[in-house]
Amino acid sequence: MAFSVQLGPQPDKFIGKLDNQTRERIRNRLLKLQEDPFPSEVERVEGYKDEKVFRVRVGDYRILYVVRYEHNLILVSKVDKRGRVYN
């Protein structure tokens, strides 16, 4: 069952500012998440009480997202470099 990916305002703006190669790597990772929202390297992000937030790596960047099973939707809440993404 394929999921659809929805970017929030921050990830959409951030990805738009990246160089073409990095943008393409992140886009490919998001396409893979549509087929499997929980790849082997996925980690759950601590510190979120209301929702289960997960993260995957793309080089020095992290993609934080929430899975909405009832709508087959992956909501990408944040994309940023490792040092800034958790702030």
Identify which of 18, 24, 5 has the alpha carbon closest to the alpha carbon of residue 77: 5
Model-level pTM? 0.91
Beta bridge partners of 64: 55, 78
Each residue's pLDDT tens digit, 13-71: 999 999 999 999 999 999 999 999 999 999 999 888 788 999 999 999 999 999 999 99
> How much is the pLDDT for 19?
95
Q: Which spans in 1-87 are helix H? A: 9-16, 20-35, 82-85
Could you give the domains of the chain? 4-85 (3.30.2310.20)
Q: CA of 56: how far to CAs of 13, 18, 49, 77, 84, in Å?
A: 19, 18, 19, 12, 15
